[in-house]
Structure 1
Amino acid sequence: MEALNVAKQYPWFSVKWKDGRAEAKGTPTYAHGHKINLGPGRLVDGIWSEWNWDGSRLTIRNDRYGFDPLYYWHDPASGDGAIAVSPNMIQLIAEGYTSELDYGALGAFMRSGVMWGNDTPWVKYKALPANATVVWEGGKLSVSGGPTVPKANPLGREQAIDAYIDLFRQAIKRRPSTGNTVIPISGGRDSRHIYAELWHQKMPMKQAFTWGPYKSYPWDEVQTAARLSKKFGVPHEVVKPAPGDTFQQYEVLKNTITSMCADDHFFFIRINRYFRERGFDCTYDGNTGDIISSGTFSTRERHAAITERRWHDLITGTIFKQWSPGEESLRWVWGEDLYKRMSA
């Protein structure tokens, strides 16, 4: 298993205001991901993040969903207005930008499996909100943007199905594959939907693969993927852990790469190496397709909470109930003192 040298892995930048001037260090310009311009008056599509330092102003921006992570450290009490930014918080901690733990954020994370809003495991660190613009100038920081909550659309069932197909088709068309594309395919409906739409649009696909040991469903994921690949005429193979690799090694690397903000998908460490070994330069993955297609998380209780904008009830009353191991179990594992801090 390859080692990860965190101190050399991720770009970062910091600036502070001292004696009437800015003192900066690190990488002044950063751009990651891809942008898709949808035309005047529309948000830029794609998955991307960036920052730019022009000598007096630092501007940090990201995509409309906040999918490409950026984190910033800021301590208003420092007196110099210092800010530091990087796609990896562990990188910044290694550079000396420390912080106490955010026990409230960690408590929510342990009960749901995700960080909420712009929370992170550390008090002085924040994730860039979706569709955000962060500006630092003269020691002053401003943060604007944030996710939008769409209004309910009064489409009927058949209209909604047709609209879903059409919008999904448009999204794929805006992202043409290369001749060296690999497709992750499981038994889940989102990956099958992507796979089928790429085939429908006759986009070239060099290889499909399935993570072999992943056994979270009652059906055979490998068999489902293999049958679909045969239908589409795309070679399919099963990716497994490399000899000598362990779950613990994958987990350490996953936690480092995600800045301790994810509790799942350790197997992408092996998949990433598989991509590099084979030289693939394009792949596809969905975010909400499986949830929309199968309704896995759709309940009347959740629908009512979302419609009425009762976000606290949605999180504590439904999501925590589904994903948390239970309050008594957490109290037993953490102990009384830590449980109180993680429940504040």
Structure 2
Amino acid sequence: MGADARDKRSPSLLSRLIGTQRPPWVVAVICLLLILAPIVAAWLDGLLDVFFAQNLWRLAVLPAVVIIYILVVTPIMERAEAGVVEAFRLLVVMDDDDFDQFVQEATRSNPVATSIAFGLGAAFGLVAGFSWLSHSTAFWLKLYLSLSAGLMFGLLGWATYAALAGTRLAREVHRQPLRFDILDTRPFEPIGRQSLLIALVFVGGIALSIAFGLALGGTYDWQNWLMYVVLLFVPFLVFFLNMRDTHRVLSTEKKKQLEEVQLSIRAASRTLMERLAENESTGTLGADINALVAYEERLKTARTWPYNTSMLRTLFVSVVVPAGAAVGGIISDMLF
């Protein structure tokens, strides 16, 4: 059990490039270069004043901000998935070597599918980025927007494919024989923490979209606001969907144990009544029934979702962030 679960997974080339934990200074340099690139492009086109005066900076910086966001959150997501794998190492009825082999097979990615996902996203981004300033003569800024949008949508395409492929591991591991106590669901809480993290990543993405994207379609356009209000429900949906397999396993086990204890209560109660009718000694039957009833009550209160109140509270509070970003966008739109 000493091996790191991350070493036992089979990530794609993009996962290894993006999901690798880097020194803070390297991340800072990459972020600085991405932010400076559109400013340099505007300067080369001689449009630096217009760039800031007409809100072009929001449009130009959007791809850089999204790329930076992906670079920052991907290693965090990788660590969360590794924590889930290690948690299941203790739950799955399987020795370490077999479990490592199982994880490798379940996480093996299709390089062709990964390349297609990235390529389709990049192709869309190249076209979309070029169309953003289609009527402008700003050569360098148009070139930057096309390339940066291509990279942004390529990474988003890869991330979408990776997220869909990642569900395979969760699905397969929940199908294995598991050993756990239904009254103690703490071993499953890493799944709850991972679900919270995924939901928070969505919240962050929505906040960035509001902060940098509203200016593109109009801050006061009610259709945009309607779309973002609907999007605010997405983190909650993602939070619970990511835990659905765990919920199914826990619910099945809870139902099974409840049926067993209720069957035992009925059998013991019949025996008790028969002995009372025959004026026979009931022995410890009364105490046994009381113990079974108490156990039944504990089973009824057993949780079947691997999250705690703190996680849910964090999710609720975090949804306020996009609202704050929206207000900031309105203020920025008024000032600049």
- TM-score higher than 0.5: no
State TM-score, norm by structure 2: 0.21
* Higher RCO structure (Cα 8 Å, ≥6 apart): 2
Larger Rg over CA atoms: 2
